[in-house]
Structure 1
Amino acid sequence: MDGTVGPGFHWRDETRSKYRKGYGRWLTFLARSGRLRATVDDPTDRIDPDAIRPYIEELQSQEVGSWTLWGRLAELLAVAQAMAPGKDFKWLQRAVRYQERQVVDRRHKLSRLQPAHHLLDWALNRMRDIIENPPKRDAPGAYRDALMIGILACCPVRLSNLTMIQLDRHLVRQGTVYFLRFAAMEMKTGHPFSAPVSAGLTPYIEHYTSIVRSDLLVGRSSSRLWITRYGEPMNAKAMHLAITRTTERAFGRSINPHLFRDCAATFVALEDPEHIGIVSPLLGHVDPRTSESHYIQANQIVAGRRLRTSVAQARKILRHKTDGRPA
C-alpha cells in the first residue's frame, strides 16, 4: 500500500451499498440483454452510450418514476468515476443532468392535471369530429389516440397494461359496456384487475375495432388493440409519445400516461370526496393484508363503476355550462 485512497474512500456504508446495488442493476441489465462482455481491460468500457440508451428505455418501459431513473444513472456515474477517475464521462454527466431536470419539471405536475370528465369529454368530441369531418392527414391515428385518452380517463391503467391490450382477452364487451381485464401475472401488483369502461365510449370502441383498426392494419392480422399506421402493434414508447403529443395539443400541456392516474385520483378527491375510497382499488393499489383475489376484483369493479358514474355526472354539468344543453 502506498498510503493513497481511492475516490470512493469517503463514501458512507449506506452510500457504498446504494452504489453497489446500482452497479449490480446495470450489470444485470447488460447480462439480460446480451451486452455483457466477459473480458474487458477496463470494466468501465462496458459503460458506453450505445448501452446506456437501451438501459434508459428499459427503465422507462418499467414505468419507474423520474426520480428513480435519475438515481439509477447517477449511481452508475458515481461508480464509473470512482473506478476510472481519469476517464471522460461528460456524456454520462449530461444524461444525468438531463434526467435531473425532468425530476424538477415533473414535480410541477399539478399544473398539468386535467379533471377526468374534461379528458373524457374532449376524447368523445374529438372522435365525433373525426368521424364527421376526417382530417386530411392520419385520421385513423388521430382517432386511435383520442380513444386511448378516453379509456385512460375512466380506467387509468399503467402504460404497460394499456400497451398489451388484446381484443376479447383484455378488452371484453358485456352488454352495453366494455371491461378491461388483466390477469394477476400481467399486473405490477400481482393481483388480477377488472374495471368497466365508460358506456359513452362503447360506440366509439366499436367504430375503432370494426373500421379504424382495420384501416391501420392494412390487411395484416394482430390481436393487439393499438396499431401503428404501418400496421404493427404499438410499443410502449410509441404510445407514450402519442398520448403526450395529443394531450399537449389539446390542453396546452402534455399529460403522460402515468399522470392519468393522478388525474383520476384528484378528480375523485375534488368532485366526489364521499367516495375517495375508490381510488386505491381503481389504481390497482391493494391492502397487502388482503389476499382474497375475488374480493379485490369486486372492489375494482365497484370502484370503476363509481368513477364512471361520477365522470358522467360531471360531464352533464360541463355540457350544461358550455352550451346550455339540459343536464
Structure 2
Amino acid sequence: MTRTVRILPLEEWPAADQHMWRRATQTGGLFDDIGPLAHLAGDTLGMIRTGYAKWLTWLADVLPGAISELPDRRLTIVRYLEFIEANAHLSPKSQHLYASSTLRVLAACYPTVDWGSFRKIEFHLKQEADDYVSHRKDGRILSGQFVLAKSLELEAAAETIASPLKKALQQRNGTLLAFLSLIPLRRRTLTSLQLGESILFEDGDIHIVTNPELTKTKTYWNTVVPEVLVPSLQRYVSETRPWLMARGGAEHDRLWVTKDGMPLTGTATGTLIRNLTQDLFGVVISPHLFRDIAATTLAHISPEAVGHIRPLLGHNGHLTAEKYYNHATALEVGRTHASLIDSLKKDT
C-alpha cells in the first residue's frame, strides 16, 4: 500500500469538501446558522482538518476516481479499512487520530447517515491507542521540584554574570523555565501572554488570565503566580524585559521577548526551551512536556493531589459541572501546586 507523505491543503480539496468544511466550522450570531464543529477550539479544529485532509490525500493517491464522489458517499467500510491499513506504519494514536477525524467530520455534516459500523471500527482503534505505551517520553518526565529548583538556581546565578546581555538572557531563561514548571501553559498561550491583559498586578499578587480563544475548552482560565516565582518574575518584568526591549527599540506588550526585545514566537520558544533543558537537565524537554511533569508530580504526591491536575492544566474533565469547579479552584491550584512542591523540597 502506498504511504501518504503529503497532506492536501484546504484550497486543494474538492469543492464539495471545501464547502462542507466551511459550513461545519461557520460561526455567527444568535440567529445565524452555526456549524456543528464551530464550538471546537482552533487547535482541535486544526487536528481534525489534518486528519480529514489525510483521508482526501490517500484517496487522491490510491483511488483518484473517488474524489469526484460526494463526501458522504466516498466513505465505505472497505475504503475506511484500507485507509487505516495505509497508516499502519504510524503509532496507534496517529492511526486513531486520522480515522476518527475523518469520521467525525462526515458524521457531523451528515447526521442522518448510519455511521454505526464505522464507529465500531473507530472505537476499536481508540482502545488500541489507549492501551499503547509510548517510550518517547522515557527519561524526560523529571520531578517538578527538581525542575523548579534548578530553574530558580539558573535565574539567581544571572546576578554573577558580567556581560549585561548574557545576564539578561540568563535571568529571562531561568524565569521562563520556573514559570513553566509551576504554570504549564500550552506554547501558544505562553507566547501570547500580554502585560496589562493576561498578566495583571493586583494587591501584591500577579494574576495570569487566558482568554477563551487560547484554551482548548474555550473558557476563561486564571491563576495566581505562586509566591516562590514572584521575585524572579517581577525582576524580569521590571528590569530584564525593559532592558532587552530598549536594546532593540521594541514597543509591544508581550511578556516573553527575544534578545532584541521582540516577541518570542512559538517556534523560537520551543527551540529555546529544548536547548535550555538539554543544557540544564541533560535531556530535551519540550514546552508541552512541562504539562506532563506537573501532572506526574501531583499524581506522585498523594491521591488528593490528583484532583488538582485538571484545573491546573485547564481541562474540563468529563462532567459539565467540572468547568465551574475548574473556574472556582484554578486560582488556588497554582498556590497549592507550588506549596506541594516546596514541601517536598523541605523533606529531602
TM class by shorter chain equals 0.5 to 0.7
Partner of 2:290: 260
The 2-side partners of 1:77 and 1:118 are apart by 45
Partner of 1:119: 147
The 1-side partners of 2:52 and 2:139 are apart by 27
Partner of 2:62: 82
Q: What amino acid does structure 1 have at the position aligned with 2:159?
A: I
Following superposition, the deviation at residue 310 of structure 1 comes to: 0.3
Tell me the alpha carbon deviations over residues 86-143 of structure 1, each in whole angstroms, 9 at most, x when there is no partner: xxxxxxxxxx9x997xx99973313101111111111111110012335686332232
Asked whether 1:194 is paired with 2:225, we answer no
**Cα gap change, 1:109/1:163 in structure 2, threshold over 3 Å: closer, same or farther?**
same
Partner of 1:26: 8
Following superposition, the deviation at residue 77 of structure 1 comes to: 6.2
Following superposition, the deviation at residue 177 of structure 1 comes to: 3.2
**Cα gap change, 1:110/1:274 in structure 2, threshold over 3 Å: closer, same or farther?**
farther
Partners of 2:8 and 2:54 within 8 A in 1: no
Following superposition, the deviation at residue 62 of structure 1 comes to: 4.4
The 2-side partners of 1:64 and 1:99 are apart by 21
Partner of 2:201: 173
The 2-side partners of 1:134 and 1:83 are apart by 65
**Cα gap change, 1:223/1:112 in structure 2, threshold over 3 Å: closer, same or farther?**
same
**Cα gap change, 1:295/1:72 in structure 2, threshold over 3 Å: closer, same or farther?**
same
Partners of 1:272 and 1:310 within 8 A in 2: no
Counterpart pick for 1:205 among 205, 224, 233: 233
Partner of 1:284: 314
The 2-side partners of 1:211 and 1:136 are apart by 12
The 1-side partners of 2:44 and 2:263 are apart by 19
Matches for 1:97-246 after TM superposition, within 5 Å: 107-134=135-162, 138-217=166-245, 218=247, 219-246=249-276
Q: What amino acid does structure 1 have at the position aligned with 2:62?
A: A
**Cα gap change, 1:138/1:105 in structure 2, threshold over 3 Å: closer, same or farther?**
farther
Partners of 2:165 and 2:259 within 8 A in 1: no
The 2-side partners of 1:99 and 1:221 are apart by 45
User: What secondary structure, in the 3-state scheme, does the structure 1 residue paired with 2:343 have?
Assistant: helix
**Percent of aligned pairs sharing the same letter:** 25
What count of residue pairs does the alignment treat as equivalent?
259
Gaps of 5+ in 2: 15-41, 65-86, 95-131
Aligned structure 1 segments of 4 or more residues deviating by more than 6 angstroms: 67-74, 103-106
**Cα gap change, 1:245/1:286 in structure 2, threshold over 3 Å: closer, same or farther?**
same
TM-score (normalizing by structure 2): 0.63
User: What secondary structure, in the 3-state scheme, does the structure 1 residue paired with 2:229 have?
Assistant: helix
Following superposition, the deviation at residue 293 of structure 1 comes to: 6.1
Partners of 1:176 and 1:202 within 8 A in 2: no
Partners of 2:8 and 2:57 within 8 A in 1: no
The 1-side partners of 2:165 and 2:90 are apart by 34
Q: What amino acid does structure 2 have at the position aligned with 1:301?
A: L
**Cα gap change, 1:229/1:107 in structure 2, threshold over 3 Å: closer, same or farther?**
same
Following superposition, the deviation at residue 231 of structure 1 comes to: 2.6
Partners of 2:275 and 2:284 within 8 A in 1: yes
Tell me the alpha carbon deviations over residues 271-317 of structure 1, each in whole angstroms, 9 at most, x when there is no partner: 23322101111111113532686543112123222112101212333
Q: What amino acid does structure 2 have at the position aligned with 1:177?
A: D
Following superposition, the deviation at residue 237 of structure 1 comes to: 0.3
Partner of 2:341: 311
Partners of 1:117 and 1:312 within 8 A in 2: yes
Q: What amino acid does structure 2 have at the position aligned with 1:186?
A: L
The 1-side partners of 2:52 and 2:270 are apart by 21
**Cα gap change, 1:107/1:73 in structure 2, threshold over 3 Å: closer, same or farther?**
farther
The 2-side partners of 1:298 and 1:79 are apart by 48
User: What secondary structure, in the 3-state scheme, does the structure 2 residue paired with 1:110 have?
Assistant: coil
The 2-side partners of 1:298 and 1:145 are apart by 31
The 2-side partners of 1:162 and 1:73 are apart by 28
Q: What amino acid does structure 2 have at the position aligned with 1:153?
A: S
**Cα gap change, 1:248/1:73 in structure 2, threshold over 3 Å: closer, same or farther?**
farther
The 1-side partners of 2:52 and 2:284 are apart by 25
